[in-house]
Amino acid sequence: MMKTLETLNKEIIACRKCPRLVEWREEVARVKRKAYQDEEYWGKPVPGFGDPKARVLVVGLAPGAHGSNRTGRQFTGDASGGFLFPALYRSGFANQPGAESRSDGLILKDLYITASGRCAPPDNKPSPGELSNCQPYLERELEILQPKVIVCLGRIAFERILRIYSARNSVYKFGHGASYLLQNKVQVLCSYHPSQQNTLTGKLTVEMFDQIWKKARNLIHENS
């Protein structure tokens, strides 16, 4: 399984399917933010990472220009990760609360993190076509990992998962804390994305986010 994931991740890193995103991610990596002038940016598609035997799959939106696009690891080095990883640590899914670089010693337990889009998009908005170009990678991760629980961080991730499972029935509505058992016995759990837009405004609080990971752990045991 590890070798299969490694092969997939090499394909993801080499992807150049979306000209707009290739141009943007590489320009950001060249120009850099002033605070990171001395760092070498990743500037490529960002693969998933975590426990290859994970029963929980977390699906985000896309890399941040100066977060994952800089560090080369999902949710690493930006404010969203600064909210996500402490919650994963508190719930026992991570061995430490911080995530700064690919060599920081972070280990995820029973959890794998991926995204709907693999390249940093301008204004944090990948187009539907760009997301569709990325969808086969997400489909293959699902085939390899066969998670029991999928935590969708945000509406776009939720809609992508429904599209993959052909479950676009009107009964499936996005809402924080909403969960649905799909036909293949996979449990989908919705959460607001831990972006600053949500966390600084109080739309997503620490307590609300902690409840998501507690619920994810309960759902694993219910589906075992």
- Greatest CA span in the chain, whole angstroms? 50
Tens digit of pLDDT for each residue in 173-192?
999 999 999 978 899 999 99
Going by pLDDT thresholds of 50, 70 and 90, the confidence category of residue 89 is very high
**Which of 103, 104, 188, 193 lies closest to 150, judged by CA?**
188
The class of domain 2-222 in CATH terms is alpha beta
51-81 pLDDT, tens digit each: 999 999 999 999 999 999 999 999 999 999 9
pTM of this prediction exceeds 0.75: yes
Residue 72 phi/psi, 5° resolution? 80, 15
The residues spanned by each domain of the chain are 2-222
Task: Check pLDDT > 80 for residue 169.
Answer: no
Q: What's the mean pLDDT when you consider all of the chain?
A: 95
Say whether 203 sits in a helix, a strand or coil: coil
Question: In this predicted model, what pLDDT tens digit does every residue of 196-210 receive, in sequence order?
Answer: 999 999 999 999 999
* Cβ-proximal residues to 194 (8 Å cutoff; 6+ apart), any chain: 80, 83, 84, 87, 153, 204, 209
Name the CA radius of gyration of the chain, rounded: 16
Count the alpha carbons within 13 Å of 23 in the hemisphere toward its beta carbon: 4
